[in-house]
Structure 1
Amino acid sequence: MSEGITPSAVLAQMEITKGLSEQARAELAGQARLLRLDKGKRLARRQADNQLSGQRLFLVDGNVVRACNGLEREIDSCFGLSDPVELFDETGCEDDAIVTQARCLLLGVPAALLSEMGGDGAQLNELDLDDAEGDFLTELYEQINSNRLELPARPEVALRIQKLTADPDAGIAELTELIQSDATLAGALIHATNSPRFRAAKEITSVRDAVVRIGFSNTRMLATNLALRQIFRAKHQVARDAIAEVWAEGVLRSAYCSLLAQKLNLLDQDRALLAGLLARVGAVPIIQFFDQRGSAGGGRQELDELLEKLLSVTGVLVINYWELGSDLVAVAEQSTNWSYQAPEPDYASLSIVARWAALAHHGQPRPPAAEIPAFACLGMQPPGEDGTLAELEGSEAALDRLQSMFET
């Protein structure tokens, strides 16, 4: 870790502050505070509140384990390569604490000043909302901040499975043990393995046999599918139809993301698949809140208008809540922004191209590819008039296979 890192240097790279003027960042840096903690140090939320009153605390460089609401979660950040991660946000409890796993660099930023300058995520004041929509969003935020409306639970086991199966030293025993820690997931995996797509001559009755039968890669995809699908739930018909459409779109976008990452040899294929599934995850709390609020009687048109305007805001909320990283935050934030232009290939650009390809797949309206910066960012050839992507020529069978995996 460089001892020469300054608050100004960190703020210039942080996603929520890099868009501020130099003068604003300088003012913020003047009141910010860097902390260096050696390995094995414990810092509780209450202790941080006492030492850094009124400041938000970010991990700039290093690795910690955060104990939050009885669950432990690893958090890491690398200055210059990843966005600093907030350690104690509004989703935790008073007894939250972190334990450093390496020497760490932290940054405390004055919360009030940060909010005043507008460096606090998606800007709600830029949304064109009518009074009813504004009331809906206000109530939604109040529900979330008071813990009366839970955001979708982080698919913990699925994410741990992705990490484990990426480890070349991991074996069947470790993967089996991890899947068995979630009874619902274990049962669903065995059921899926006995479906016509994977069915063997002998019925599969154990998680170990299921993993052996379908392999690490398929297990990883099925686990991601089964875990995420559980959050796409609603009660009333209007909401159920809407959430089913969001899931179906996510499946197709995910398949395109995964194939494009592979064919272009850009980014990580598994994270690309996850990016496609989560591009519209912000729809889940909107639809569920609409459902619980009794708004289903208002009809599909009202819900679609809310989704169009609030999708990015709530998507950022969910991804931040799950602590999945700034790369996937950008995917949710830019999920419907055809004009998004990144300086280098990223998952947000990949997701945008995948969305365009999915629309073309169904023959639905879409802007000309030449007007979408994401294609150039990824170094892709202009698609044909029929929407065919040259990079995916001959990949129809692979696309069908990926989609069917998520329909199992």
Structure 2
Amino acid sequence: MPKHPDIVELLAQLSLPSELSEIQLQQLADQCQLIPVEPNWRIYRRDLHALRLFLADGHALCRYDGVERQIDSCLGLSAPVELFEHAGSDDDLVLADTTCLLLRLPVYALEALEALEVDTALEVSDIELDDVESDFLGELYELIDANCLELPARPEVALQIQQLTRDPDVGIEELTKLIQSDGTVAGALLHTTNSPIFRATKEISSVRDAVIRIGFDNTRKLTTNLALRQAFTARRKQSRDAMLAVWSESVHCAVFSQLISSELKLLNPERALLAGLISNIGAVPIIRFIDKRPEYAGTVQLNEMVAKLRGIIGVLVISYWGLGADMIKVAENSNNWSYRAAEPDYASIALVARWATAREEGLAHPPASEVPAFEVLKLSIPEEGQGIIEIENNTNALKELRRVFGLKND
């Protein structure tokens, strides 16, 4: 049964810019809401904030440029009617005459699906594959080409926390309310706050007390981490192990990304943290794809396939999530050591952070002199066996970030 059967049915009735597959309709439905409103409820065009609103049921009065007209829609019998369909004044108004049901569609969600229609052709002819790998890649490519690859749901709480905490006037009450809206994140925050990581002297039993205990800044970092963690799940042991390894690398990359941004005073450290966390997101659909096809388990070199395909699939995920061109660039170049930006960007920060992670974890990585991102960020080029001087000089900040994210301090 679809997660939002009513919303999917309503979306199918709309005149959207392009024909969407069943999976795409479901993905779009996951970002939409049905909102009941009482008589005399009103909204002005200026209050939309990148939303499209549709009257799914009920009667309303529209006042556009001083001209009034009635609109109505009957759930199940007529298609939803868009409010503020055409351009107009900020003072344009819609007033509910009766109890109404509105369909709320974020503009970013639709734009992201449209972005997936760009040419995603994979240059498979240059990749050496055995017969099983070729079959696997062919099936995956067909799903991508048909825009039917299952993508992880947009981590709303993580992104709302990022947006909320940019406001200097936001306090504990607002942050607490947002965290409590996601039971999984709230529970994980309480568990972590009561763990030895934060050495609580007494048990913390409320989200508000947890925020007070670990501080506003640590709460922002930790809850963003906990919310995004939900995307990295799988059923079978091999897939779970692969997902855990990808997530562990992402967390390490996030720590180094924020520290690089802070130390060099480049861009926004909180967005750099997000860049690190999503840098490997393209691996998630690939691992889930294998997870549902046991015939590939044990035969496909999973790590190799992830390395080959996570860039292009990461672009699909970040486009679908609507995180912006800067984060798309992060995902696109997550495995491209030769990436050279014209100026410092989050993709360069994430690549250097990945290099630092690989060095620390004993993973394969090229010499720093072969990674142009070091030069772009104006970092000292580490000699063989050395770490990044600009990071290692600030051991206290590095240890604190490791502590917040539950990583070992050597």
TM-score, normalised via structure 2 length: 0.70
Shift of 1:362: 3.0
Alignment of 1:2-401 (within 5 A): 46-47=14-15, 49=17, 69-71=31-33, 75=50, 120=118, 122-125=120-123, 128-129=126-127, 130=129, 132-140=132-140, 142-143=142-143, 150-295=150-295, 297-299=297-299, 302-401=301-400
Per-residue displacement from partner, 1:10-55 (whole Å, max 9, x unpaired)? Answer: xxxxxxxxxxxxxxxxxxxxxxxxxxxxxxxxxx994454xxx89x
SS at match of 1:344: coil
Shift of 1:168: 0.3
**C-alpha contact 2:282 2:311 (8 A) present in aligned 1:** yes
Which ranges in structure 2 are unaligned for 5 or more consecutive residues? 1-11, 20-27, 35-47, 52-78, 91-106, 108-114
Q: CA deviation at 1:127?
A: 6.1
Alpha-carbon separation, structure 1, partners of 2:84 and 2:272: 30
Aligned residues: 324
8 A contact 2:314–2:331 mirrored in 1? yes
Letter in 1 for 2:122: L
How far apart are 1:142 and its partner, in Å? 4.9
Q: Structure 2 vs 1, CA of residues 148 and 380 (structure 1 numbering), >3 Å: closer, same or farther?
A: closer
Runs of 4+ in 1 over 6 A off after TM superposition: 94-104, 144-148
Q: Supply the AA of the counterpart residue of 1:231.
A: A
Moved more, 396-405 or 227-236: 396-405
Which sections of structure 1, spanning at least 5 residues, go unmatched? 1-43, 55-65, 77-93, 107-113
Equivalent residue number for residue 3 of structure 1? none
- Alpha-carbon separation, structure 1, partners of 2:287 and 2:298: 12
> How many angstroms does 1:171 deviate by?
1.2
- CA gap of 1:97–1:389, structure 2 versus 1, over 3 A, is farther
Letter aligned with residue 233 of structure 1 = T
User: Alpha-carbon deviations, 1:145-199, whole Å to 9, x = none?
Assistant: 8787631111101110111112101111111111111112111111111111224
CA distances 1:305-339 after superposition (whole Å, capped 9, x unpaired): 21121111111111111111111111111011111
Aligned equivalents of 1:138, 1:296: Cα separation in 2? 13
Q: Aligned-pair distance for 1:295? A: 4.0
Structure 1 residue identity aligned to 2:367: P
Whole-angstrom distance in 1 between the partners of 2:337 and 2:282: 17
Distance 1:285 1:48, change over 3 A: closer
Q: 1:75 to 1:315 in 2, by over 3 A?
A: farther
Is the Cα–Cα contact under 8 Å of residues 45 and 96 in structure 1 kept in the other structure?
no
Letter in 2 for 1:259: L
Q: CA deviation at 1:283?
A: 0.6
8 Å contact from structure 2 (residues 282, 314) kept in 1? yes
Q: Are the equivalent residues in 1 in contact too, given 2:132–2:296 (CA < 8 A)?
A: no
Larger radius of gyration between Structure 1 and Structure 2: 2
The answer to whether the Cα contact below 8 Å between 1:349 and 1:377 also exists between their aligned partners in 2 is: yes
Superposition CA RMSD, Å: 3.5
One-letter amino acid of the structure 2 residue matched with residue 188 of structure 1 = A
Residue 103 of structure 1, CA deviation: 8.6
Relative to structure 1, the CA distance from residue 295 to residue 285 in structure 2 (aligned partners, 3 Å threshold; closer, same or farther) is farther
* 8 Å CA contact 1:69, 1:96 repeated in 2: no
What is the distance in 1 between the residues matched to 2:359 and 2:89?
A: 49
CA separation of 1:46 and 1:235: change in aligned 2, threshold 3 A: closer
Tell me if the contact between 1:234 and 1:291 (Cα under 8 Å) persists in the aligned partners. yes
TM-aligned CA deviation for residue 368 of structure 1: 2.2
Change in Cα spacing, 1:232 to 1:296, as seen in structure 2 (3 Å) is farther
**C-alpha separation between the residues in 2 aligned to 1:164 and 1:152?**
23
Q: Distance in 2 between matches of 1:150 and 1:282?
A: 12
Q: In 2 relative to 1, CA 69–175 (structure 1 residues): closer, same or farther, beyond 3 Å?
A: closer
Aligned-pair CA distance for 1:296: 5.2
Alpha-carbon spacing, 1:246–1:75, altered in 2? closer, same or farther (3 Å): farther
Shift of 1:230: 1.4
Equivalent residue letter for 2:351: I
SS at match of 1:345: coil
Amino acid in the other structure paired with 1:387: Q
Q: What does the per-residue CA deviation read over 1:208-234, in whole Å, with 9 as the maximum and x for residues that have no partner?
A: 111111111111111111111112112
Distance 1:96 1:138 in 2: 41
Using the alignment, how far apart are the partners of 1:310 and 1:96 within structure 2?
41
Change (3 A) 1:147 1:309: closer
Asked whether the equivalents of residues 340 and 348 of structure 2 are also in contact (C-alpha less than 8 Å), the reply is yes
Which residue in 2 is equivalent to 1:15?
Answer: none
User: In 2, are the aligned partners of 1:68 and 1:97 still within 8 Å (CA)?
Assistant: no
CA distance in 2, matches of 1:403, 1:74: 37
In structure 2, the CA distance between the partners of 1:102 and 1:168, relative to structure 1 (3 Å rule), is: farther
| 1:370–1:226 distance in 2 versus 1, CA, 3 Å | same
Whether the 8 Å contact between 1:236 and 1:296 is mirrored in structure 2 is: no
